[in-house]
DNA sequence: GAGTAGATCCTCT
DNA sequence: GAGGATCTACTCA
């Protein structure tokens, strides 16, 4: 399994990156405890042009990671309890991001169960961004960490995803963004039980 | 099964 | 001081 190279995150089209991330594997290895899962749902946030993006209002201490780094994690706390895991993309000065909304667990399922306080594996373990953050043990203190790090990275294990298996929809939970809430920036693998929300077939 | 309220704390105004 | 890129549980049917 090889890490996705920095050049991948430097592409200009954040929507393309979000789509291409489907099928790749998210890996965390905090203190040698490895957990991984296949990415089955993502959302693109197009920085300054996108009202739904945190970066829309400009640079703040929290969003500095989006402006200053590429191919790094952007983690923040939502509603006081959910750690949301994002990937900062494009180049320095362009605060694009891809939110990882759902993954399918591969390795370290026992650890994930422990972290989330669940007894057995079911589709809710890593469905929804808040659960992904919890299951993978990400924390906002890890915001800004490079995805070339040995503790946190995206890997390509050769899994082939057919274009016809990719579904598209509007993003979730961004109704406040007006017209931008209608942009088709959410991508998911059709029929995968770990995809959150309702899916069209 | 569907709809709604509550949790809970950091961030920006 | 207000609100948020959400999830869960509980109510009602």
pLDDT in tens, A30-89: 999 999 999 999 999 999 999 999 999 999 999 999 999 999 999 999 999 999 999 999
List CB contacts of A70: < 8 A, sequence separation 6 or more.
A6, A9, A10, A88, A89, A90, A91, A92
Q: How many angstroms from the chain centroid is the CA of residue A100? A: 2
A81 C-beta less than 7 Å away from strand B: yes
Contact present, A102 and A195 (Cβ < 8 Å) = yes
CB proximity A80–strand B (7 Å threshold) = yes
pLDDT at A201: 36
The helix/strand/coil state of A180 is helix
Q: How far is CA A163 from the centre of its chain?
A: 19
Instruction: Please give the model's pTM, rounded to 2 decimal places.
Output: 0.95
Q: Is A190 helix (H, G, I), strand (E, B) or coil?
A: coil
Q: How many residues does chain A have?
A: 201
From CA A51, how far away is CA A87, in angstroms rounded?
18
CA distances from A124 to A60, A108, A127, A194 (A): 33, 16, 5, 7
Q: Is the CB of A56 under 7 A from strand B?
A: no
Please identify every stretch of chain A with a pLDDT value under 70, giving residue numbers as ranges: 197-201
Scanning every strand, the nucleotide with its C1' closest to A57's CA turns out to be B12
Which positions on strand B lie below 7 Å from a protein C-beta?
A: 7-13
Query: If we measure between CA atoms, which residue out of A119, A159, A167 comes closest to residue A37?
Result: A159
């Amino acid at each position: 399994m090889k890490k996705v190279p920095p050049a991948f995150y430097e592409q200009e089209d954040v929507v393309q990156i979000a789509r291409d991330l489907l099928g790749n594997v998210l890996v965390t290895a905090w203190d040698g405890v490895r957990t991984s899962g296949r990415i089955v749902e993502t959302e693109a946030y197009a920085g300054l042009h996108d009202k739904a993006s945190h970066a829309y209002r400009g640079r703040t201490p929290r969003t500095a990671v989006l402006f200053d780094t590429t191919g790094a994690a952007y983690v923040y706390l939502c509603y006081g309890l959910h750690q949301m895991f994002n990937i900062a993309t494009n180049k320095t000065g362009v605060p694009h991001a891809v939110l990882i909304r759902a993954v399918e667990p591969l390795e370290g399922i026992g650890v994930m169960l422990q972290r989330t306080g669940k007894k057995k594996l079911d589709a809710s373990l890593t469905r929804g961004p808040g659960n992904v953050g919890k299951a993978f043990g990400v924390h906002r203190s890890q915001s800004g960490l490079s995805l070339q790090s040995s503790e946190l990275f995206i890997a390509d294990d050769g899994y082939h995803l057919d274009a016809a298996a990719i579904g598209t929809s509007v993003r979730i939970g961004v109704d406040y963004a007006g017209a931008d809430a209608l942009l088709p920036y959410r991508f998911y693998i059709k029929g995968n039980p770990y995809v959150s929300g309702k899916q069209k077939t």
